[in-house]
Structure 1
Amino acid sequence: MFDFVFAVIAISLGGPAAPLDGVGRPDAPMPVQAPARPAAPASPAAPLAPAEPPRAFHMAAVPPGLAAEDQTPSGRFTTAAEVKPILNATRGNWIAVRQYNGQDLVYVTHLWSWRCGLAAMAVAVNDAPMQNWPMPPCHEALPSPNAILDDDPQPYLTFDLGSVQTVRVQLVYDDLSMELEAFLRGDVLIP
């Protein structure tokens, strides 16, 4: 009985969703790119199936030139050891989609706020291939090294209004571990 009540509370509070074929779980192997599945023709009497999250495609290996960094905790959230638990707990907030000024904006502000523990980030919108998205530098000289400053690039990309349907994100932490997540527009659309 208590397990049932706990599950209901967790779901109502936005608890963790079931992982997609091992995607995003640190103990699971990275998935292999799956071929596109043809859509079955829908009959007019058939009920509509709920939208499925997109399969996540990934970088096959750590980008060249990256080396694992020291993971001694700094207390300033500048290592994978410090930021990985936070990003795992806030996985649903990694990105957001917003309709603004006649465009779709894909935001990565949350990820950039913990970027000092990241070595690289790649994003794919809809069926496009993963593309590296350079992050601003970690501002080690400041009290808040993860701060996004006015001189840093904007933490969003612009697309045609209504065109962003799926977003896939892959992170490479500074310990060279990788995580992958896929999002549906309706799950990350902000008013």
Structure 2
Amino acid sequence: MKVMSVRKLSGAVLAAMLGAVPVAAQNFTTAAEVRPILDMTRNSWVAIREYGDNDLVYFTHLLAWRCGLSEIRYGFNGAAPKSKFKMEKCHEGSAQPNAIAGDNVFVSQPKGSVKDVRVKLIYDDGSTEEARFKRNAVLSR
């Protein structure tokens, strides 16, 4: 049996040998592309951090996939998710359309006041998804 150096193999042959399957390029800018990711990472949608005299409720994870969303709404302590979180626009036409350029990634509330967070996602195809997070489940320590 002849042994070949990996260096002598073409990329396609090496990929086939390793079982790699080519994946079509995706920008993750549509509901169809981001919904599966957000479904799998639901527990990361929001985080609460106590900082000084404030509870900072972070939406960073959702903002990283915002290009497939038309809105993020939230409510605290059992309130319906009616408050709209202001998202920066997607950077369409750039290599990283979901990159976060600004620093608007959280909402500040008085320390200890946020007992739970309700989130409603409105995807760019009009579909919606809701979730509720208890403080202790999303509190960063």
Give the Cα–Cα distance (whole angstroms) in 1 for the partners of residues 87 and 103 of structure 2.
Answer: 8
Other-structure match for 1:168: 118
Other-structure match for 2:83: 131
Is residue 79 from structure 1 mapped to residue 24 from structure 2 by the alignment? no
| Shift in Å, 1:74 | 6.5
Give the Cα–Cα distance (whole angstroms) in 2 for the partners of residues 113 and 100 of structure 1.
Answer: 22
Question: In percent, how many aligned pairs have the same letter?
Answer: 46
Other-structure match for 1:177: 127
Contact 1:136 1:153 (8 Å CA) reproduced: no
Other-structure match for 2:52: 101
Q: Which runs of 5+ in 1 are unaligned?
A: 1-72
Runs of 4+ in 1 over 6 A off after TM superposition: none
Greater C-alpha Rg: 2
Other-structure match for 2:42: 91
Give the Cα–Cα distance (whole angstroms) in 2 for the partners of residues 157 and 177 of structure 1.
Answer: 24
Give the Cα–Cα distance (whole angstroms) in 2 for the partners of residues 153 and 135 of structure 1.
Answer: 10
| Shift in Å, 1:132 | 1.3
Give the Cα–Cα distance (whole angstroms) in 2 for the partners of residues 190 and 78 of structure 1.
Answer: 28
| TM-score of the superposed pair, with normalisation by structure 2 | 0.79
Contact 1:114 1:146 (8 Å CA) reproduced: yes
Counterpart code for 1:166: D
Deviations 1:14-52 (A, max 9, x none): xxxxxxxxxxxxxxxxxxxxxxxxxxxxxxxxxxxxxxx
| Shift in Å, 1:142 | 1.9
| TM-score of the superposed pair, with normalisation by structure 1 | 0.59
Give the Cα–Cα distance (whole angstroms) in 2 for the partners of residues 75 and 155 of structure 1.
Answer: 24
Deviations 1:164-187 (A, max 9, x none): 001000001111110000000000
Give the Cα–Cα distance (whole angstroms) in 1 for the partners of residues 52 and 100 of structure 2.
Answer: 23
Counterpart code for 1:125: F
Report the aligned-residue RMSD: 1.4
Give the Cα–Cα distance (whole angstroms) in 2 for the partners of residues 184 and 176 of structure 1.
Answer: 27
| Shift in Å, 1:153 | 4.6
In proportion to residue count, which structure has more strand?
Answer: 2
| Shift in Å, 1:121 | 1.2
Q: Which runs of 5+ in 2 are unaligned?
A: 1-23
